[in-house]
């Protein structure tokens, strides 16, 4: 019980530190901190680790895998029905219907076949999640996301299929300065008339906020380093 109490206290303390970072970066950019959504990346975390954040008022959570989200979130959502789930990992087309059924936002739209599958799921279910088109901002073959040159055409396809295109998502290359990649993603969003920017993680959320991020995806700064 003592260990559980210490863990909950640490989580809430870490949440306060992350919120302070967001607020400070927003002030530097002359932005309202309330305009930035903190997505707590809860992938691999169990319900006991998530509950302290829910109790502290966090309502946006990010999961990588549909099956993991299906396993642990129904009970949590029953207690906190205003929770919003964001699917932030690569999504297989054959999981589109399950993703649309459980998520309020999908951050990894990156190809026509997935757009078609999500559009069919939306039509069948009547649910309309926000969709973010993922851009392979560093042109890395191991990562998902559409090529920068393909972005305008993919956006036309997504909008034509009836998806609610809320913005862009990107993952800058690791171990290099993120700012140029985040700035490029922000420019691409502006050029394509998109207000939403899902970018920034534990290490670079401050830079992301100053460059216009509307959603930051934070895991280790809240839950601690994963094994």
pLDDT cut 90: percent of the chain above it: 92
Domains in the chain, number: 1
Q: What local confidence, expressed as pLDDT, does residue 108 receive?
A: 97
Q: What local confidence, expressed as pLDDT, does residue 63 receive?
A: 98
As given in the structure block, the two tokens for residue 162 are 């009836």
pLDDT category at 12 given cuts 50, 70, 90 is confident
pLDDT cut 70: percent of the chain above it: 95
Q: What local confidence, expressed as pLDDT, does residue 227 receive?
A: 58
Decide: helix, strand or coil at residue 188: helix
* Closest by CA position to 36, among listed 53, 18, 49, 50: 18
Q: What is the pLDDT of residues 148-163, one digit of tens each?
A: 999 999 999 999 999 9
Whether pLDDT at 2 is above 60: no
pLDDT category at 4 given cuts 50, 70, 90 is low
Whether pLDDT at 226 is above 80: no
Q: Global pTM?
A: 0.94
Q: Which domain holds residue 200?
A: 2-223
The DSSP output letter for 146 is: B
Which residues fall within 8 angstroms of residue 199, CB to CB, at 6 or more apart? 168, 169, 170, 172, 182, 185, 186, 208, 211, 213, 215, 216
Q: What is the pLDDT of residues 93-131, one digit of tens each?
A: 999 999 999 999 999 999 999 999 999 999 999 999 999
Over residues 33-59, the mean pLDDT reads 96
* Closest by CA position to 91, among listed 59, 58, 117: 117
Whether pLDDT at 147 is above 70: yes
Of residues 61 and 11, the one with the higher pLDDT is 61
State the Cα angle at 36 between 13 and 82, rounded to 5°: 75
For the chain, the first-to-last Cα distance in angstroms comes to 23
Integer CA distances (angstroms), 190 to 28, 42, 193, in order: 20, 30, 5
As given in the structure block, the two tokens for residue 144 are 């998902």
Q: The domain spanning residue 78 has which CATH number?
A: 3.20.20.10
Contact by Cβ (8 Å): 186, 212? yes
């Amino acid at each position: 019980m003592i260990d559980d109490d210490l863990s909950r206290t640490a989580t809430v303390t870490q949440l306060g530190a992350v919120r302070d970072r967001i607020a400070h970066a927003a002030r530097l950019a002359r932005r309202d901190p309330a305009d930035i959504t903190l997505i707590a990346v809860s992938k691999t975390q169990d319900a006991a680790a998530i509950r302290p954040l829910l109790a502290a008022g966090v309502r946006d959570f990010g999961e990588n895998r549909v099956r993991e989200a299906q396993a642990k979130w129904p009970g949590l959502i029953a207690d906190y029905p205003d929770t919003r789930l964001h699917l932030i990992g690569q999504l297989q087309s054959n999981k589109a219907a399950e993703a649309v059924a459980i998520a309020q936002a999908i951050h990894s739209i990156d190809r026509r076949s997935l757009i078609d599958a999500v559009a069919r799921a939306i039509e069948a279910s009547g649910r309309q999640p926000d969709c973010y088109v993922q851009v392979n901002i560093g042109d890395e073959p191991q990562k998902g996301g559409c090529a920068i040159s393909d972005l305008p055409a993919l956006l036309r396809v997504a909008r034509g299929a009836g998806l609610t295109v809320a913005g862009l998502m990107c993952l800058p290359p690791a171990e290099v300065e993120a700012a140029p990649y985040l700035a490029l993603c922000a420019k691409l969003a502006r050029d394509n008339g998109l207000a939403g920017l899902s970018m920034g993680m534990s290490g670079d959320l401050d830079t992301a906020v100053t460059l216009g991020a509307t959603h930051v995806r934070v895991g280790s700064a809240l839950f601690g380093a994963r094994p």
